[in-house]
Structures are given as structure tokens and as C-alpha cells.
Structure 1
Amino acid sequence: MRQHEESNRTQSRRRFIRRALGGGFGVSAAMVAGRSRVSSQVGGPIRSFDHVAVPMRNTDAMVQFYRDLGFTVMEGPSICSVHFGDNKINLHRPERWQNESFTLRAPAAEPPCGDFCFVWDGTVDALRSVLDRAGAEVIEGPVARTGGRDGGTADGTSHYIRDPDDNLLEFIIY
């Protein structure tokens, strides 16, 4: 069963990449092929993400955890939103994502399905302090990674943790 799920995910990602390339997102063939250099930047009118959304299971624990990490968290009746800079993660409450009439979501998405990388502008010691205060266990790191800056060529150092719903959170320091 697990192998079948992995196969479906791989096929879904490949379909997305084909659509993105066909739709002019500006993604280079080198990036899709897994090469280390990206030959073109995203162009045209698309300049950034506004938000991403994932379902959550443990509402109270998730809200407290993200607040403990220093994020601004706003709570609504069906969504809690985590804010940082000009970015936002919408966390859909179970009542919303489990409701069959709510169709503006990835139909297969269930917690944990998030994998987020945050840019940390502070020191490693400051990051470790915040993670410790939030009760987060570093599951990997520090480890060298190539991040999204400079067309996907910038090197950084990452630390990985999991939130109460088991989503993967990466903090990269450039």
C-alpha cells in the first residue's frame, strides 16, 4: 500500500511539473532534471506565494506550538493562520477539511502533509533557543543544504523539526 501511495505522489508531482512547464511558470528543464543549476528565473506576473494551506488535526497544540516559535497566529472559525513577513500558512481546522462540501483543497491531503522551509535570519544559537523554548526536538541538523535563494543555488545550513501534527519544518540559515 505504501509503495502505491508513493507511486501516486510521484505521478502527481510529474503531472504538476509538466503543467507548470507548459503553462510558462519559468521553471527550467535543468531544475526538473535534478541538475544543480537553474537556467532561468520565474518571470512574468508571478512574483511570490501569497499563502499555502494544509489541514490540521490537533488545533490547540498547533496554535500554541507556532506561537511558541514566535509566529503571529490568528484564529478563525474554520482556519487558523500563521503569519511571518509577507507570508501566511492557513491551517484548516478538522471541521473544515473533513467536510465533504469543502472542495477547494487537495482531496488527498490529510495531516501530516506539510513540508515547510523557513529562512532564519538569526544565529544557530538563537534558533536553538527558540526551538528549545517551544519544546521542539531537532530531528536533523545542522546539515548543509542548497536552498531556494539565487535561483536554487544558494547554500545554507538547516535544522529540521516536526510540529504537533507531524508536519516537517526546516529552518535554513544562509
Structure 2
Amino acid sequence: MGSLSSKNALVTGSTSGIGLAIARAFAAEGANVTINGLGDAAAIEKERAGIERDFGVKCRYSGANMMDGGAVTAMIREAEEAFGSLDILVNNAGIQHVAPIDEFPDDKWEAIIRINLLAAFYAIKAALPGMKSRKWGRIINTASAHALVASPFKSAYVSAKHGIAGLTKTVA
């Protein structure tokens, strides 16, 4: 049994890449995991089933849209109901678009802010009451160097990641 065998984790943006590696690492330590993200349904199911097979834990998938605060809140509630608690929340979902600010499409700006920053707010807000009531919880927010410094043509991403750094400090 791993050191997290009595814990339940949820990782946003975890159907591939860094998020999937994080989810698998928690499962390797014995945590049940909820994965979330976009992609081909068959590929996602293969990853979900693979986590259960490889680590002997329960793994569920949520297709909650990180653009929708209500869907994020519902995803947290569903994870708590499915596993009895949500002990570890990893806000990892993120998207990027690169363009000069005067050419930045409004819909891209809003999508980046919603997925990279607002989704984390809604997830934290929904997860904290249970963590407080159990007197145990961990929240990990994925930022990047862009939480500290800027790069040309990445105004929305840099703004969201600066926001994640501030949100993390505030919640802590």
C-alpha cells in the first residue's frame, strides 16, 4: 500500500501530458483518482482503465468543461460523492494562445482566463469545505515561469498564471 492509500485525488487537465503523469503518480502511491480533460473517448478510457489496472486503485473520469464554473463545482461534488472525500486537488488544466494584445481574439482571452484561472477558483471553493471538515487536504496549482515573468504575445496566459500565483498565496 502506498502512502496515500486512504486518499482521493482529482487532477484537472489529466487525460494526457503533465496532468496524466501527476494522476498516475498519485495512483502509484495508492490514491483513488478522478481524471479530467479533453480528448478521444476511447483513448481516455484506455488511460482510466490503465490507472486502475497498473495501480490497483479506483479511477474515474469527469468530462467537466473547465470553461463552466458550475460544471467545475459539480465535478468536485461528484468526486466527493463517488469516493467519500476529495483530499487532494490538482488544478492543472490549461490552454495557450499567442498573439500581440491588439490582435488577441476576445474569445481566446476569455477561454484562457476561464480554464487557467477561474476553473481553479471554482474547484478550490468547492473542495475547501470538505477538506476543512476533515482537517486534511492538499491543493496544488500548476503555474509556470509565467506566474513570475512575462513573455511577448502571451498576455492572457501570463495574466492567468500571475493570478494562479496570487490565488495560491491567498488560499494558503
Q: Name the one with the larger strand percent.
A: 1
> Same fold judged by TM-score > 0.5?
no
Question: If the TM-score is normalised by the length of the shorter chain, which range does it land in?
Answer: under 0.3
TM-score, normalisation: structure 1: 0.24
Q: Name the one with the larger helix percent.
A: 2
Find the structure with the greater CA-based Rg. 1
TM-score, normalisation: structure 2: 0.24
